[in-house]
Amino acid sequence: MIRDSSAFSLRMTINGSRFELDFESEIQYTKRLMEQKETINRRGFGLKQEILPLLAENYHSSLIDQIKASHYELQAGSLTICLAEEFGFCYGVDRAVDLAYETRKRFPDRKIYLTSEIIHNPRVNSKLHELGIEFLKGNGKSEDAKASLDLISKNDVVLIPAFGTPTDELEVLKSKGALLVDTTCGSVVAVWRRVERYAEDGFTAVIHGKFDHEETQATSSRATQYPNGRFIVVRDKAQTQKICDFILGKLDSKPFLKEFKDTASPGFDPERDLQKVGCANQTTMLSSDSLEIAEMIQSAIRARYGTEEVPNRFRHFDTICSATQDRQDAVLKLARSGVNLMMVVGGYNSSNTGHLCEISSEFCPAFHVQDAEEIISRDAIRHKPAGSSKVITSQSWLPEGPIRIGVTAGASTPNRVIEEVILKIISCAGF
């Protein structure tokens, strides 16, 4: 255990990989915020009780409560619905949605903006829009939030979504003098701290994530706050192999920089910037992929510099959040239990929902649907196949006879939407 004036760090080495955990006490956290003298609210307005009825009206499902109480199963004729043991809203989404509703309640007459979708679920975003909250980006708005920042004045309130916001955008928002309500999830902030620590210590952050995802943009911006902070974002194992090939001298700078021209920090020099690397990941990636990616890079470093140099040149911290991990573990258990097909409910731009579909599809037919409307009939369903970026329509998705259908949902999916999907499946099955 190492102590310094600002935090506690717990460092350990398992199977040659170095892990670190940072802790900041509540007192230190509060002191830091006070020193920043910023108009940022991260704790809400104490209006939880007042907003509960509206939250229940919009998102609650008594059917889901009933299924949970019946050992996560629902029988309808010869159809059995099997619900995963972990699904739907996570702690970060719960908090973000609560803060948004509290903000509306606290400031009924002020203009309230969201810098982007608060979470990746169309139902939640449209409910916030109905409450008069305006989106600077996403939910049908332009993809360039910076272009919309001019709209903000000091009398306005700006909500920062659960994914956080890049540092340059945050600076502009602060300069506007508006009240900022920051709903960034604590698990995302933990990744930022890790990436900042890498930058402070001269390690390049290798971030396993989707470069255009809001969270990964916010995370990568934390590295470049430091004079020599660097990052590179890798999407998958194929891209990671290119990093390994460069480290091992099998790939030149030119093709390397071509591959990563849009996803590395400005002025990235692989010769200089891949000598010391620290791995992190977007919180919602497939955890098995993130671990493999870290192992691939560690092996390349070992092969190039020798085992004794690994602790000096390689760091790894698994930043998959516990909610994502729990949902991935639960869907794996359910898919392995012998269901005939899996229905995965969540926004099509929800990264964690997509990964639940990927896991399921290894065991049975899996259908990622945004909501009940996507289930057109017994014979037709609109869905996003595992690993695809396109929504397609498939026929004859619901087999005849007694079947077991597994149901799960991403961390941003309200129970009400899951209920609607289950009721539609039952109705398509003729029960």
**For residues 263-322, which are near ligand SF4 according to CB under 6 A?**
283-284, 321
A 10 A CB-CB count for 277 gives 24
User: Closest approach of Cβ 92 to ligand SF4, in Å?
Assistant: 2
Of 51, 97, 149, 185, the one binding ligand SF4 by CB under 6 A: 185
Stretches 28-36, 74-82, 185-193, 378-386: which one binds ligand SF4 (CB under 6 A)? 185-193
* Minimum CB distance to ligand SF4, residue 9 (Å): 21
* Using rule CB under 6 A, residue 90 touches ligand SF4: yes
Nearer to ligand SF4, 301 or 356 (CB): 356
- Residue 52, amino acid: L
Q: By C-beta, is 240 or 284 nearer to ligand SF4?
A: 284
Q: How far is the CB of 339 from ligand SF4 (least distance, A)?
A: 24
CB of 162 to ligand SF4, least distance (A): 4
- Of 136, 170, 323, 345, the one binding ligand SF4 (CB under 6 A) is 323
Q: 334-363: which residues touch ligand SF4 (CB under 6 A)?
A: 352
Phi, psi of 56 (to 5 degrees): -65, -45
324 binds ligand SF4 (CB under 6 A): yes
Candidates 100, 112, 124, 188; binder of ligand SF4 (CB under 6 A) is 188
Given the residues 86, 169, 214, 215, select the one marked as catalytic: 215
With CB under 6 A as the contact rule, the residue among 121, 187, 204, 224 that binds ligand SF4 is 187
Q: Does 92 bind ligand SF4 (CB under 6 A)?
A: yes
Of 186 and 430, the one with the shorter C-beta distance to ligand SF4 is 186
- Within residues 17-46, the interface with ligand SF4 by CB under 6 A covers none
Tell the smallest beta-carbon distance from residue 236 to ligand SF4 (Å).
20
- 215 in catalytic set: yes
Q: Which is nearer to ligand SF4, 173 or 323 (CB)?
A: 323
Residue number, nearest CB to ligand SF4: 92
Q: Which residue of 74, 82, 145, 411 would you call a contact of ligand SF4, by CB under 6 A?
A: 411
Through-space distance between the first and last CA atoms of the chain, rounded to whole angstroms: 59
Binding string, 46-85, against ligand SF4, x = CB under 6 A? ----------------------------------------
Residue 164's region, left for phi above 0, alpha for psi from -120 to 50, else beta, is left
Give me the least distance between CB of 290 and ligand SF4, in Å please.
Answer: 13
Joined together, the tokens standing for residue 419 give: 């209920």
Cβ proximity to ligand SF4: between 89 and 268 the closer is: 89
# chain residues binding ligand SF4, by CB under 6 A: 15
Closest approach, Cβ 216 to ligand SF4, in A, equals: 12
Cβ atoms 339, 406 nearer than 8 A? yes
The residues annotated as belonging to the active site are 215
Binding site for ligand SF4 (CB under 6 A): 90-93, 162, 185, 187-188, 283-284, 321, 323-324, 352, 411
